[in-house]
Structure 1
Amino acid sequence: MIDCRNIGLFIWALSILPLVCFCATFVPVDNYLIDCGAPTSTSTGTRNFTADNLSKDLLSTQEDILATTSSKSITSSSDESPLYQTARVFTGSSKYTFPIKQKGRHWIRLYFFPFTYQKYNLSAAIFTVTTQEHVLFSSSNIQKDPVMKEYSVNVTSDTLVISFVPSDNSTAFVNAIEVVSVPDDLIVDDGFALDPSAEAASSGLVTEALETVWRVNMGGPTVTPRNDTLQRTWVPDQSFLLQPNLALVVTNINGVNYEKGGQATENTAPPTVYGTLRRMNSSDDPRNIFNVTWQFNVSVGFQYLVRLHFCDVFSKVLNQLYFNVYIDSKLAASGADPSVTSNNALGVPYYRDLVTPLAVSNTLRVSIGPSDVNRNFPNAILNGLEIMKMNNSMGSLILGSVTSTSGSSSNKIGMIVGVSVGLVAALVLAGVFFVLCRKRRRLSRQRQSKTWVPLSINNGTTSHTMGSKYSNGTTLSAASNFDYRVPFVAVQDATNNFDESWVIGIGGFGKVYKGELSDGTKVAVKRGNPRSQQGLAEFRTEIEMLSQFRHRHLVSLIGYCDERNEMILIYEYMEKGTLKSHLYGSGLPSLSWKERLEICIGAARGLHYLHTGYAKAVIHRDVKSANILLDENLMAKVADFGLSKTGPEFDQTHVSTAVKGSFGYLDPEYFRRQQLTEKSDVYSFGVVLFEVLCARPVIDPTLPREMVNLAEWTMKWQKKGQLEQIIDQTLTGKIRPDSLRKFGETAEKCLADYGVDRPSMGDVLWNLEYALQLQEAVVPGDPEENSTNMIGELSPQVNNFNQDSSASATQFAGSSLDDLSGVSMSRVFSQLVKSEGR
């Protein structure tokens, strides 16, 4: 099942969408603007259309019929209105042949206005328009008013042939034609699929022929071609709103910032689109829970590419706006935070592509509404929307047609007028078959794309292999991550040739050095140890994961180095180190309860993004306090993705995989059954919560037997309602009882025996934010409102972690996992002599 719990694109996963540089001006290589039937060239706004009778080499037709009409009969007030005054009329199959200088995606824009000229009543014309590979248009749905039909096709040959084929005893006509190159990055290959039978991403979009059905500017005015870098028209959204009173308009065009390096450029949509939006008319009242919905007419039997445009020019601060998006009844994005998806900045535009299943209704609804991530300030925004019809399995954008074979004028195009119900059913079945075939091809492409091929060096004369004894000489490539590759010499310079005095940590992968790049950027450099139990697989996973994700609560990957048999990862530098070091063992100043809550909230946001911000959930698999890092402001970021794994497929509940993780944090259900889900991360995070509260190791064999395992020990006190007895002594008298109560309940739910009974990370995040509110402010009506009582003194017997243990422990026996299904985790952990790593 396609899980678009985003994004949040939005969570939203945008890892599958390429980042492109800001570019306000696009000059098309192919730019044919043809005024059909005109005696001379025509100027429209800023563009000049050449008369087709002056370009005889483009047109092949049986007879010249140039039709004209008076401007009084034209109702269009656009710059293009002069184009509708003339038309080229065809009594037989005719074609325009355009030489293509640069293969790739092109606009095809066809202008139609069915006026009457002499004996030709163009309103009665019955014809089709095709290219070599696609059927674009049928006159059966032609409008009485001037209309421009816009198509986007991928041209793979040296010529583009547009054929006009009238049915028997009828005519065809066209008023004007555009064939214009489109930027390569305007339509990317992948989109999120809403069809529950589809894969995580709908691939192959670059080969699809698309028809622009709707292009809408939410909250803004009409955008004409002269105000769009790609000469598009955007219409206002007012007429599509089902309940206009539920939405407000926000305008802040100056707040749009393309230069921040976001995914979208001015070619994606102009500032007039990204600088205006509709938002919920919620008044920031938590009781106002509703959706803002737009409804659009579409054709039955086709899939649609829906492009949603977002730009947060509304919020005052980051991470304030979270919302959900729906296409019809399907969740398209959950917990979307535009500021996170847009490089952690406000005003940076981005978009999200979604592919619908075959339409069975002639309407399509798009809705935005509040998310559970931030229930206190319910709001949602949408800046722009494009709905594009995708060609069916026969390469057609109309029902009941077949394509021409080679663009030959002698080839007749069959057209069925008045499609029967049986034919529609047949096409739907054919469409389903097509989707299944595309799914198989997509799976094959995905398997190929996930194969790491040799990465050549020395000008391509040799390939590099990793030297770790655990990699078995496997050839490593980051072919899809070249932008992250850092030369070994630069890493040496940054770390003062791996100066041992610069070591800031040692983990399972190897040593971590503090470093500084040539531009002054502070970095953390993790250098792989050849004798480490973590090798190529973890190195590759770390690069693959972190090069896809960008979130303020996930540690950013700056680069990697795989030269000279090295495995080196370079991250942003986190000034305050690990959360673990601030809890115990390092002598650092104690954290306040508010600081601890904010750190837990930040880490929860990062994990929530992993679980919901991409097409499929990403399971961290090694959540622990040592993998939660703090910057100079104590903002938490989740780190170490070497063990991460993508979540289950749509028809599965779990991923069957070998058990990996860290003792003390490991999900008992995952340990017993080797079945991994997102709830395994939730369990580990619950352990972290108790670790934060009690400031002690999660496994300490030096303690009495009942205290060795933190999770089991704290759960006993939590269930007795006496959690205040075991908290960190430095917090004594500093935690409001209701805040502690909510915190303890949240951790307890995370540690439920079965994953299905545990909350999602989104629910955990909400509860932690509530615990912080309870700590900072008095809740009206709360029985504790007038109470100044804080948590009392701790029991010295319970908090004496340094006392000698009389309990003896034996080395943990290496039983097979199958033999552990009935073994309690109490027995497993009580047999540990010391805390183990992975």
Structure 2
Amino acid sequence: MMRGGTIRLLIWVSSAFCFLFGSLGFDPVDNFLIDCGSPTNQTVSNRVFLADGSYSAVLSPPQKIIAKINSNSSSSIDSDVFQTALIFTEASSYTFPISKQGRHWVRLYFSPFVHNSYNMSQAKFSVSAQTFTLLKDYQVEGGFIIKEYILNVTSSSLVLTFTPSSNSFAFVNALEVVLLPDELIPEGARAIGSKETEQSLSQLALETVWRVNMGNKTVSPQNDTLWRFWDSDYSYLRYEGVATYVSKPEAVNYSASPTKYIAPSSVYGSATMLDTKKESRMIANLTWNFDVEHGFKYLVRFHFCDIMSKPADSVIFKVFINDLSVSDSLDLKNLTSDVLGRPYFMDVIMRASDNPTMNVSVGPYSKDGAYLYPITILNGLEIMKISNSRSSLDVSLSNSSKMKLGVIVGLAVGVFLAIVLAIVLFLFYRRRGRARAIHSKTEVVMVNAEEGKDNNGTAMFSASKIGYRFPLAAIQEATDNFSENLLIGVGGFGKVYKGVLRDSTKVAVKRGAPQSKQGLAEFRTEIEMLSQFRHRHLVSLIGYCDEKDELIIIYEYMENGSLKNHLYSSDLRCLSWRKRLEICVGAAKGLHYLHTSSEKTIIHRDVKSSNILLDENLMVKVADFGLSKTGPEIDQTHVSTAVKGSFGYLDPEYLTRQQLTEKSDVYSFGVVMFEVLCGRPVIDPSLPREEVSLVEWAMKRHQNGQLEEIVDPRLAGQVKPDTLRKFGDVAAKCLAGRGVDRPTVGDVLWNLEFVLQLEGNDGRSDHASPVNNLETSTVSTAELSMGSVGDIAGVSMSKVFAQMVREDMR
């Protein structure tokens, strides 16, 4: 019934499939229930699934293979409708006579088993109905699944066709075609995140992807008039610790629309809510995460019912999908005419997105920093995929996948202009659909740092780590009311100002712009990340401010600005080659700490020269953690997430597959290394065509053994040939097309330290090579010859990194 919900459905079935279809009074004129392959009718909780040959639907051609589970074989499925199946070795169609035109459910039941020479788990096939593709080259991945579709039938018959893929076959265990109540699906709905304000659904097909009941309660089909299964919201809730589960089904009042057809009282009578009076320690949105197929639009239905407030209370809150506002102030009492317990539902159409995750949130309504209404509530949620312009509900036919395939092909043949065009179009597409107001993107509103708690009740923002929550007046004083004369930088989040606090401490103040494309999600991420870590090569967080709609982060001030400025600005002293190497080593240490210092890898996701800062002594610190992401679990290889980062630094594997790993940071760092070597921008359209892309230009020269021709002219005579060769080799390995072929940041760090050793002590600054400082090492400089560069044979890596740790802790 729900894509991605197979595990939940298995629990449902294994507990008791007998209640799958309880009849509670709905008697549709079109009601076809077929137990495919069964010689007898099967009654399942007052619903009769007819045997093959007993139904009025016509199967053409009539030839098929009847399959039944061997009585001696083990099966975790108890229901008889999954014990048999029909196998089709050629395209076959059911034709259902339709008595009443309108919306119909088509439910397909699949549970693979082995019958003679047919292993149904290997079946590959497509399913279509009317002009819509429901499934394309589909394979059932173990267990069982029920696929549920909604079609608007406008003729006297409905044709359902199963088509085997090449050299394969199709199968189905059971199916049903049922007329729906007229009120269930709207003719259209309000669209968000797109140019259209309203979109018609009358000519489109839908697929139920998620159907969730809030309140941490599962609703079985026997308790639903339309035999629907509602999964518990517990496993989808992001911050479970701030939620309160309530159940009061007796309070539901169906005195007016909507009826029980929209959702049963067991849904409207339970809720997940946030009571701001009880949760004063941290005011947070309630957020649920759902996997979706990118490239499709979705009909999202919110179910609300006030079952908890007092008659005199107002219930007003905010509703979001991803970073888009669905409602800035949903007044539930007004929408239900002040009738306590009256259900209300709201439909919106979410634009197509490249994000494989949909975040649905409800949050408290605030005005001038005060939370005026105590209750934020959600009772149920349905997410339905909408057929695309190709009349398909299958991701393999989506325009999004076609576009990605084009990008992959372009990368494979190495056509740089095609890559640039695809990236530009991708970024433009993302920008068009983003919210224009930062207030629509609130996920968590943080209170005083000393009082902030996470969902486990422990301190989220320790005062010992981030100081305190700065009043806006103090920040205005420190920056001369955000004087443009103190402006030191501009980024995606907003402007950065130099400030001086009353105790004469110099600070950098990053102020979120109202039109920021990043907003509070990045604001919160950066505070969470930097409050966890302390490292001399990571910029330190001093405090924050979220007063009067301002989002401000305060850092230690970095006197010498960014590495980018020093590489490109003619007004600043040119960095020596050795100093550039030391900066690369320091940045690599910062990244290595992020990747290895905690239980899960922290992926920076925006490594670039403008995010590598230098203090008054040219000590390097990595900055800007607004896009950082927690790495994959131990049993996973990557994190699937929307592409974020900076043009020119993006890992091509991450760009095309949306699969993020720590090796994506390694790729970006390789780009920075060539920036350091060449002293030029990553993309420079003013240069000849073959030199526009720094990565392509540098990689080609490296392959041809011509690195000396691309060295920054200001470094003439400073770079030793052995150093240049080794540095170029390390950078090139970082830029390997596949992440698995790239070194770890730890390997990069070791090799950069080795490059410093090769460079020798001439003109050295205060940096000391760890190889010479190893207290117990017997490795000599002679042993670190170019002959051992490839595998660094004979060097104890544990000793090297132990020394690095000792240095970093000084």
TM-score by structure 1 length?
0.44
TM-score by structure 2 length?
0.46
Higher relative contact order (CA 8 A, sep 6+): 1
